Chain A
Amino acid sequence: MAKLHERKFISADPEKCVGCQICEYACSFGKERAFNPTKARIRVIRENQINNIAVTCRFCETPACVAACPRNALSQSVNGSIILEKENCSGCGWCISACDYGAMMLHPETKTVYSCDLCKFRSDGPQCVKWCPEEALTVVTSDVLAQKARLSAIKKLFQTPGETRNQQQKETTP
């Protein structure tokens, strides 16, 4: 029997994300006791005014960052988070180039790389999820994410029972 994926990571819903950057503040304060987005494990991108999303480590099944590190500084834990052997990290940034999501970053002070670890040492869980006022951030497995996408797609399609969104728009546009 095929086993469902168990790895959980933080995912942002682009429809709910308003680009407020509270997740960056919550993350940096939780990790570093100061507000500083340049030390946050999650970063918000407002590509133009209406496209907003927070991005953080996806805990990939085959993490490109780990594969890219020539110094064996990176490995993946059982739960999927990326573990850094600080002594081995020279801050070269190959892992940063390798990550398609920009989730791997170079810390401005330690000069070693860092990424999201789901606030594993905190009893109240990931701080970004806790503080996101829009509930745009959730801790999910890839299966849950797919389920959510399917549900959201079908809700959009049938905003009112029996009517698709396209029909609706056509009828109400002045």
Chain B
Amino acid sequence: MLGYAGRILYLDLTTGKNYTEKLNEETAKKYVGGLGLGMYLYLSKSKKGVDPFSPENPLVLSVGPLAATMFPTGGNGHTFISKSPATGGVGESVNHGTFGTELKRAGYDAVVLTGKAEKPIYLLIDDDSIELRDASKLWGRSPAEVEDAIKDEIGDFYVRVASIGVAGEKLSKIACIINDKTRAAGRTGLGAVMGSKNLKAIAVRGTNDVAISKPDEFFNLVKEFHERMKGPAAQKYRTMGSTENLMHQNNMFCVPTRNYNNSHFELAENISSLIINQHFIAKIIACNSCAMRCEHVAVIKDGAYRGVMARIEYDNLWAFGPNCGVDKLNSIIKAAERCNYFGLDAQSVGGVISFIMDCCEKGILTKEKLDGIDAHFGNASAMLALIDKIGKQDGIGAIFADGVKAAAAKIGSDAEPLAQHIKGLEVTGYDLRCLKTAALSCAVSFRGADHNRSGAVTVDLRGKVDRLKAEAGRGKIVKDLENQFNIIDSLLVCKNAKGTFYKDFEEMAKIYNATTGLGITPQELELAGERIQALAKLINTREGLTRKDDTLPWKVMNQPINDDGSAKGAVVTQNELDLLLDDYYQARGYDKQGTPTVAKLQELGLTEYLSIIEHKEA
């Protein structure tokens, strides 16, 4: 079983006691790695109803079987899994960079953290040595500062660090975990889970060999994928970057603008990919082992924010641009940098600020109530002031630091329709009213409003279906894509590189087999994708989430698009949502409540979890 490190590390942060368990072949094949392995470990090591912030809530960190190999994008990913403080269901966030490679070389496929340290600590994993070190001097500092400080303290430049910022320390439910300074495991508030354990950072140094099973086959695949990554399949990411989405989507009226008040941003040209690349991108860099290199690093060249550096992609551009009605790139880049500084999820922060601005426009919040901040749409300095307040939970910031759902509950019922979230997670930059396959995908996404649980948004955007129509058949499309994405996140190859897999499961199985020597068929891999989905669903079912949680934000269902254009009048009605959900559950083999059936769990080899659904039925 090459590729895999073959070990799982269990560490109790309360006592510092740790042990390792062997990862056996059966478990490896069944759950693949990364997301799948992490979900499995989480489900088997956590208890029903556990408080996300209690010491008993495990935080799982896992890497894939390709980690620390030369397979492009396969070498560099890692994923965090726990119960999300934002959604109450399974929280999961994948990230790339260099961090995951080091964990693999240290000799671990996964780390399961439980307990709570008495005082702030950081975890140093140096091959077999596991050490909890004092982090009192790191408390209050940004992830980038922490990374530098730990490298200094250890005296090793190649130590890799994943760290939380102040937001995670203060248990903000929109806090993220940042590695390699600019890369965030952003979504579902897992930074706060780390904070609740008094765990400021995880630093890893690994020096072991990572060997592969069939080098000739492996290197042929690497060569093939290097070529593909330089070709049309990755051209967008290699050249202009994902920010190119903005103008394209704007033309299709599917850029949620000003908290879903519009679906088109009339000032989009001022923040287009062209301008970003011409004036701000200082360098496009790569994650470890990637031949595609797509990380667009923006640096502000002049003005008050001169020298500010942040990674800019469509997601954070949208969150602080159209979503807040802001067309000043200096401020958008600064906002992204401030989120990295505080360790906040930029997407959720953008969602929170547009919610605040919407509340102001509608008179629900006022300048007086907002500590003197005049938060109307388009006010870039208000946006930045609010980020600081939220990051520090200073004054009014405390109300908003747990996301829009929690904020709306505190502000009052008239604010609730303005809170654009699913399961408590803020929406992303795709107007779901006119992207109905994506709407279904987001509604059923186990981690809440997020387009990254399937590639359904691409199906709509590329016109493979009528994006304005809700019809039978979309359930199967979403199901198939989810299975694929689950495997992408479990092998831990990069989603941006998805286009370079011409034959998804077939090629993924090939690379898996050349690496591990285990021999998995494309069908088995697809089934594993389905199994991983069911695992996530089982966690959510155990935690009490049902069909009623597979829903859409209020505005998506009640406020049709009013901009003149191709999507005018688009909205997702309850009937349409029900149709889509029924179709999806049926395609999945789940019951009407969206719970996996006994037969389905038997088919997937998950009978050990039957009690979760039987309890449900009783």
Contacts and interface: CB of A to CB of B under 8 A. Distances in A.
Among A35, A36, A172, A173, which residue has the most Cβ atoms of chain B within 10 A?
A35
Interface in A20-67: 20-22, 25-26, 29, 32-39, 45-46, 48-50, 52
A133 B211 CA distance: 22
A34 B309 contact: no
Contacts of A20: 286-291, 293
A35 B66 CA distance: 11
Given A26-B70, A33-B215, A172-B279, A18 B75 contact: no
Nearest to B102: A37
Interface of A: 18-22, 25-26, 29, 32-39, 45-46, 48-50, 52, 108, 131, 133-134, 172-174
A50 B297 contact: yes
Contact of B285 (A32, A45, A52, A108): A52
B219 to A, nearest CB: 8
Nearest to A14: B283
13 contacts: A18-B283, A18-B286, A19-B286, A20-B291, A20-B293, A25-B70, A29-B70, A35-B209, A36-B105, A48-B181, A50-B297, A50-B299, A133-B230
A148 B441 CA distance: 51
A18 to B, nearest CB: 4
Given A33-B211, A34-B210, A172-B279, A22 B70 contact: yes
A131 B328 CA distance: 40
Interface string B225-250: 01001100000000000000000000
B142 interface: no
Contacts of A25: 69-70, 75, 289
Interface in B404-447: none
Contact of B309 (A26, A45, A50, A133): A50
B285 A19 contact: yes
B24 interface: no
Contacts of B299: 50
A135 B95 CA distance: 27
Contact of B289 (A21, A38, A108): A21
A36 B210 contact: yes
Contacts of A22: 70, 72, 289, 291
Nearest to A39: B209
A36 B101 CA distance: 10
B98 interface: yes
B454 interface: no
B309 A32 contact: no
Contacts of B182: 49
B221 interface: no
A34 B284 contact: no
A48 B282 CA distance: 12
A173 B209 contact: no
A50 B278 contact: no
A173 B287 contact: no
B309 A49 contact: yes
Contacts of A48: 181, 309
Given A20-B289, A21-B288, A173 B302 contact: yes
B68 interface: yes
Contacts of A18: 283-286, 293
B593 interface: no
Contacts of B284: 18
Interface in B96-111: 98, 105
Contacts of A108: 207
Contacts of B207: 36, 38, 108
B208 interface: yes
Contacts of B297: 49-50
B301 interface: yes
Given A22-B70, A25-B69, 16 more contacts: A19-B286, A21-B288, A25-B289, A29-B70, A35-B70, A35-B210, A38-B207, A39-B209, A48-B181, A49-B297, A49-B309, A50-B285, A131-B222, A133-B72, A133-B293, A173-B301
A46 B99 CA distance: 13
A49 B285 contact: yes
Nearest to A172: B278
A22 B211 CA distance: 15
Contacts of B158: 37
Among B72, B105, B288, which residue has the most Cβ atoms of chain A within 10 A?
B288
Contacts of B69: 25, 35
Contacts of B288: 20-21
A111 B135 CA distance: 34
Given A20-B291, A22-B291, A35-B210, A133 B226 contact: yes
A29 B595 CA distance: 47
A133 B73 CA distance: 13
Contacts of B98: 21
A163 B97 CA distance: 38
